[in-house]
Structure 1
Amino acid sequence: MYYYLTLIIGYVFKVYQFMIIAYVLMSWVPQMRETSIGQLLERLVEPYLAPFRRFIPPLGFIDISPIVALFALYFAQLGLMSLLRMIFT
């Protein structure tokens, strides 16, 4: 049970990380954000990125908030996995 739960949670976090990366890469081609996939990614990713953008200002033309958001997501995954390990052992 623990193995399958951690596997599913790992996949969910990995998919969301790829969604963030795709959303950031889409910013290089503005027409991509106007597509239905771009709008879907915006609705799913922007609520997570918004707090990071509020506290981390862009450095010129470079927005580092998605990088910080990816690190935070990674540490949240590690914390959740260790919490599950403590519950199931």
Structure 2
Amino acid sequence: MLLSLFQIVDVLLQVLWWIIIIQAVLSWLVVFNVINTHNDFVRTFFNALDRLTRPLYAPIRKILPDFGGLDFSPVVVLLLIYVLRILLAGVARDLVLSGTM
């Protein structure tokens, strides 16, 4: 049961990983005017991704210094997700090996 919970959390972290990647790439495309935000679908999709990721970025943006227009908060969040996934996999492996599952 606990292993299933770890797997669910891992899948959710993977989904969050891809949401952040898509949001970052989409924001670059908007900044470089490759994608036009006057399109209703693009604007709605972009705003939805922004609303999903803004709470994750806000605490990190407070800590990171200003890099002159470059936002490194998505990179920091991706690194934190990666570390969290490694830790969860280690805990799950230890639980399986110890036989407490």
Fold match by TM threshold 0.5: yes
Residues 6 and 88 in structure 2, CA contact (< 8 A), matched pair in contact too: no
**Pairing 1:45-60 to 2, within 5 Å after superposition:** 45-60=53-68
2:59 & 2:65 partners in 1: Cα distance? 11
Matched-pair identity in %: 30
| Structure 2 alignment gaps of length 5 or more | 32-36
| Partner residue in 1 for 2:34 | none
| Partner residue in 2 for 1:14 | 14
Instruction: Say which is worse superposed, 23-32 or 49-58, in terms of deviation.
Output: 23-32
| Partner residue in 2 for 1:81 | 89
| Partner residue in 1 for 2:79 | 71
Once the two structures are superposed, residues 29-57 of structure 1 have per-residue CA deviations (whole angstroms, 9 ceiling, x without a partner) of 0628x722222212221111111111112
The residue type equivalent to 2:26 in the other structure is M
Residues 17 and 70 in structure 1, CA contact (< 8 A), matched pair in contact too: yes
* Structure of greater Rg: 2
1:79 & 1:7 partners in 2: Cα distance? 12
Relative contact order higher in (CA < 8 Å, ≥ 6 apart): 2
| Structure 1 alignment gaps of length 5 or more | none
Give the TM-score normalised by the residue count of structure 2.
Answer: 0.67
The residue type equivalent to 2:80 in the other structure is A
Residues 13 and 85 in structure 2, CA contact (< 8 A), matched pair in contact too: yes
Pairwise CA distance, 1:58? 3.2
